[in-house]
Structure 1
């Protein structure tokens, strides 16, 4: 008699793309995530105003 083993591995989470551009109401982390998702480079030490300028460039 053969035994079968079923492994249910969790599927990798799909990256959720931000639909709308961040505003000054978003956190720095949210803005950085948006920039990263859209392939926009930024300095890790960039301030919120600098990050928002990149979003709107």
Structure 2
């Protein structure tokens, strides 16, 4: 069973990966499409995971 502690840690890790990929896009000289797509997918998954965590905790 997935509890809210596991989802919280997973959300925290996903947020860190999303911020890291955003920083890499910002700092890179050449904007790579793959990095932007990965960042967008990570951001969407993170927001879905955050919503799921909030719904479970309530």
* TM-score over 0.5 for the pair: no
Return the structure number with greater helix share: 2
TM-score by length of 1: 0.24
Q: What TM-score do you get using the length of structure 2 for normalisation?
A: 0.24
Name the larger-Rg structure.
1
